[in-house]
Amino acid sequence: MVQSRFKREYHSEFGYQEYISWVKEDLKLGKMQAVRFLNVYDKFGVSPNLGLTDIAPSALYLLSAPSTPESAREEATVNLVILQKP
């Protein structure tokens, strides 16, 4: 999540095209990966209570995709919170 926040801040400061160029050139990742990072941060922000470190990155990418219904995101979040309770 920290990485997604850093990438969102870079995007906000330098703009979309510069962000995409930075991810491609400096991080050696593709445009789709750059967009996924932004989606994760936009949908989940910094939510330490969710324990997002327990979720596989691929699951986070799917849950944060624009095509994923909000109801699916909410259900996954509720299930994660339930699983984390002692």
Does pLDDT of 73 surpass 60? yes
Q: Is the pLDDT of residue 54 over 80?
A: no
Burial class (CB in 10 A: 0-12, 13-18, 19+), 20: middle
DSSP tag of 51 = T
Is 0.75 surpassed by the pTM of this model?
no
Cα(55)–Cα(45) distance, integer angstroms = 15
